[in-house]
Amino acid sequence: MVRRKVHLTEEVRYALEEGVPVVALESTIISHGMPWPGNYEAAVAVEEVVRQHGAVPATIALIGGKIRAGLEKEQIEYLARAGRRVEKVSRYNFAHVLARNADGATTVAATMWVASMAGIRVFATGGIGGVHRGWAHTLDISADLEALARTRVAVVSAGAKAILDLPATLEYLETRGVPVIGVGTDTFPAFFSRSSGLKLAMYSEDVAEIAGWVHTHWSLPDTGGVLVANPVPRERALEWAVAQAAIEQALKEADAKDVRGKELTPFLLQRIVELTGGKSLEANIALVKHNAALAARLAGELALCLPDKG
């Protein structure tokens, strides 16, 4: 009943029916994460990476008041050209956008929700949202964390965005029972940088082993998502000190301009691109592709564990 509310492309529909691995992809990164035409080129390239590694991509968005899992290239181009004119959709405003027959680019939280509705078990993104700096005064905590706690989807990301309070983000995930698994690392990746220095209890280089852990987690009652933390490729990574200097400067500017709420993350990421001479954008594109490749492999291993898709 619920799945029929999600409009699938024929490619995605066939894959789900036949047990072919599928990887969900978000659309906020297209409309709000990068400028045209790089956003379109990156989105198409990420879908191709998923296919090259044996899975079917399902980019998720709201278009014309319909929930879509899987987009045609012209729909991706539309989102890319429209940019921030397309509304940024999380769970709190999902129904509002849908009821107005409007277009929406889905965040991590919204993408996980739709993926779960559609029966898609794996989702590749850049970096998740988390607990913002100064959270004790603002209570600014991303809905991504609650989505991870509640939604049975494995999210492959380069950790959490480095603009966040990373120790608090990890504490929140632990409190909500979300396993965080490092891929070839025992420290939490920091988006642009390979390591935050924060230790992880679970880590492995073996994708099949990680899939087994995810499957076991989901075999238990009242469990939600899993965060698979995959460091940015070494050749595109920013040194921790360089990334932190740019972040601190961007945060000061955001505070001076009173940039808050859902506008804060796009503002900070854009300023960091400018302050790093474009290196953070190069890292962002590289890590999304890297995560897409891993997610496709993980989806393939999970398909062996979960032949009935849950």
For the chain, what is the radius of gyration of the CA atoms? Answer: 18
- Are 292 and 50 in contact, with CB atoms under 8 Å apart? yes
Question: Where do the H-state alpha helices sit in 65-125?
Answer: 73-82, 94-99, 108-118
Supply angle C-alpha 261, 273, 146, rounded to 5.
35
Q: Give the residue numbers marked as catalytic.
A: 26, 161
- E-state strands within the chain: 6-8, 22-25, 56-63, 66-69, 87-89, 104-106, 122-124, 154-157, 180-183, 202-204, 226-229
- Taken in order 114, 118, 121, 125, the sign of the CA dihedral is negative
DSSP states of 279-308 as a string? HHHHHHHHHHHHHHHHHHHHHHHHHHH-TT
- E-state strands within 90-175: 104-106, 122-124, 154-157
- Are 238 and 279 in contact, with CB atoms under 8 Å apart? yes
